[in-house]
Structures are given as structure tokens and as C-alpha cells.
Structure 1
Amino acid sequence: MIRVVVVDDQASARMGLSMMVGRDPGLSVIATADDGGAALAELARRKDAGEPLPDVVVSDVRMPGTGGVTLAREVASRFPSVRTLLLTTYDRDDYALGGLAAGAAGFLLKDATARELCRAVRELAAGGAVLTPRVTREVVARAVPGAAEDPERVRLLEALSSLSPRELETASLVAEGLSNEEVAARMVMEPASARRNVSRVLAKLGLRDRTQLAVAWWRSGMGSRGSREG
């Protein structure tokens, strides 16, 4: 059973998210909180009491008090086994890149279906990351450095040059926010092969997860060379 904590300052939103997650027999909402501070207090209480921590925290980005970005940062620092999924209302959200940099493992739009939300929670609980194509292109791409002489961009391009053409294609699809199954379908291969390809790309680049790969891809400028909407 995957344990979930839901965080939102609006009671109706907390109830709605809890109901969506609760419909999945493999997921269980073990607590809710009305802001990041309350969520952190609940995690600390559970840790001190020896109670199981959640596998995933699902949190709104914008909240009075402690918001989602700060929550993601604190969870990553104090409770590294817990993954944070941040929810945003808009395709273009200035908080998104900050959330990813802070340690959030995924971003999902609030208009996601119950199926999409539960699938995202499962992906994070399994150690993956979630970046929807819209959030990836519309938010992360805005962080691409503009100067060709940018040393970070040069470093990333040098690292990406070590990948084979097939691995570059895999990286580009992951950067768009595609899941392993979607990568497999696009590249005409088995999902297990897609998973191996993604793992190999991460290992070659020395990256922790798909979120870091997506950010690296867009910051390198590769994403600005044309979307793979196909």
C-alpha cells in the first residue's frame, strides 16, 4: 500500500484530492494538512513516534504560510525517503522551476484526472519522476540560458554529446515529460527496454532521476531546437 499525505489550504480541494487518491485500492491517504508547515509537523510527529512516513506528499504549490516549494525543499532535506508531487493551476507557473530545484520529484496540473493523479503518485513511489509535457515545455524551458558562452550550458552540452543518437532521442522524450510506456511506444520498443535506456542515460550523465534529466536537457538549449510533438 502506497501512503499519501495531501496538502492544500482549501478544504474542498483537500477533500477532492483525497477522494481521487482513495479510489485507487493501492493508495491510502494517511493524513491531510492545510499548509506546508502543518504537513512537516505531521511528518516529524510520525518520525518521532516511529509511525510509517508517507511515500508521497501531494501538495498545492501556492498556499498561505508555508507553500509547496518550501515544503518540497524541507521534505527532501529532512525526509529523503518521501517524494513530493506539486500541483499547479496554470501551464505557466513561475514557481515550477523553483519547486523542481528545491527537490520536488514531479509537477502535475490541477486539472489532471484521477487516473493521471494516481498514476503520478505510483510513479513517484516507485522512484520515478513526473513532468507532464505541458509543464515541461511551458515552464522548465523558460529556464534555458540564453547566452551561448554560458559555462553551465557548455558543460551540459558536452555531457549530452557522450550519448548515442538513440540515447539522445530517449533523453529528449523524457524531457518532454513522456513516461517509460510512452517512450517505448514512440521509439517502437518494449517498456522494459525503454526503462533500461532511461537508466543508462541517467548513469552516463550522472543524474539522479528523470526530473534532473529534463531540467538538464532544457537548460542545455537542446529543447529549444524544436519540440518532438510528432
Structure 2
Amino acid sequence: MPITILLVDDQELMRMGLRMIIDAHPDLKVISEAGNGREAVDEVRRSCPDIVLMDVRMPVLDGIAATKQIVKSHCDTRVLVMTTFDLDEHVLGALQAGASGFLLKDTPPEDLVSAIRVVAAGDAVVSPKITRRLLDRFLAGEQVPSEEPQQLSLLTEREREVLELVAAGLSNLEIGSTLHLSEATVKTHVGRVLSKLGVRDRVQAVVFAYENGLVRPGS
């Protein structure tokens, strides 16, 4: 069965372009569109798509608020946020709301398609360039908790190393090269890290690491 996708953007021309790119691939299928966050939430309840490509700035209900509601719904729908600017302050809010990653609207078509497949497979899209800059900018002023969260104490030394590299935006292959491990072994470590932290994907693990002082902005 193809991966089902809901397109959410207040610009019809943008939705048309995305649909043309996505529908060119037999394993992907756009099943519906929405022009604002409220319509997106209602459509997810109706059709439970695998993926929502979510714009941030929209009328009626913005992408952050819509993402929160979709993530809390009973559907196993995952959200990919799309933004025009790589330092859009709203994107961090979307990640904290439960989005599985974000893309710039000028992302090359092949990267867009790849990101959809990655997220649909249960992973997340973490861009080293954009994610790091966002977290550096918006978490720089936050205080580190005085006590280490219990979840971090559950990690082995190796798992903490893996989490730090995930937070730096490295892929499993790059982490394996850095730690001299196979990609399969890294994938196992990442899975254990996500389970122990109680987060569902790499993006949420990155936010957790920064918020709890394991990785500091600019480090």
C-alpha cells in the first residue's frame, strides 16, 4: 500500500506543486489537502493519513497548534513541518509539539520524497544545519535542570555518546563511523535511547538532550 499524505498549506499553488512531486512516485499518494490547521485536524480525524506535510503560518489555526492536536489524536499520523525560513521561531515549537521533523520549502524534490519515506518508516528527519541552529538560538537562554532527569541515568555510557551525536544531527552511518560501530548496532542503540527517554523519534531525543543539558548550544 502507498504512503498516504495530507498536504496542508494556505497557498494553493504550493499544494499543487507538492502534489505533482509526490504523485509522481507510485509508493506515495496524496489523499487530501487542507488550507489551514483546523481543516488539517478535521481531515486527519476523517482519513488518518500516514504523513501530514504541515505549513507553519496559516489562518484560523497555525501549524504548531494543529500539530499538537494531530499528535494527540488516536491516529498514528506523523507530521513533517514545512517552513520558508530556516530560522523560523515557530519551528522549534512545532518540534516540541511532536512533529517528526521539518523541511524548508525549497527542499529538492528528491529530498522531500526521501524525508516522507523516512518518517513513514518510523524515523525522523533531523537536519544538522537547521536543527542545530534552531536549538542554539532558542535554547541558549534556558537554564539546565539542577538535577539530571531520571531517564538520562538509565542510559549506558555508550548510549549517552550516541544521544550526543544524534543531538549533533549525525545519521546512523555517521555515528557508526565516529564510534567505530556498524550501522545496525547504532540503530539498536538509538532504539534503546528512545525507549529509555520515553520519546518517539530522533527529533524528540534532540530536544530532550538540549533541554536537559546533555548537549549545550554551540558545543
TM-score range relative to shorter protein: 0.7 to 0.9
Aligned residue number for residue 118 of structure 1: 113
How many residues are treated as equivalent by the alignment?
217
Aligned residue number for residue 100 of structure 2: 105
Distance 1:155 1:144, change over 3 A: farther
Picking from 62, 71, 74, the partner of 2:69 is 74
Aligned residue number for residue 155 of structure 1: 148
Picking from 154, 158, 175, the partner of 2:167 is 175
Distance 1:161 1:44, change over 3 A: closer
Secondary structure of 1:130's partner? coil
Give the TM-score taking structure 2 as reference length: 0.87
Secondary structure of 2:148's partner? helix
Per-residue deviation at 1:215?
A: 0.5
Alignment of 1:1-230 (within 5 A): 1-46=2-47, 53-141=48-136, 142-144=138-140, 146-148=142-144, 150-151=145-146, 154-156=147-149, 159-160=151-152, 162-224=154-216, 226-227=218-219
**Do 2:44 and 2:75's aligned partners in 1 also have CA atoms closer than 8 Å?**
no
Per-residue deviation at 1:162?
A: 4.8
Give the TM-score taking structure 1 as reference length: 0.83
Distance 1:226 1:66, change over 3 A: closer
Q: What amino acid does structure 1 have at the position aligned with 2:34?
A: A
Distance 1:139 1:80, change over 3 A: farther
Distance 1:73 1:60, change over 3 A: same
Distance 1:116 1:185, change over 3 A: farther
Deviations 1:71-114 (A, max 9, x none): 11111122441001101122212112211222212122222211
Deviations 1:147-200 (A, max 9, x none): 35x34xx334x6435544432231122113333334334444332222101012
Structure 1: gaps of 5 or more residues: 47-52
- RMSD of equivalent CA atoms: 2.3
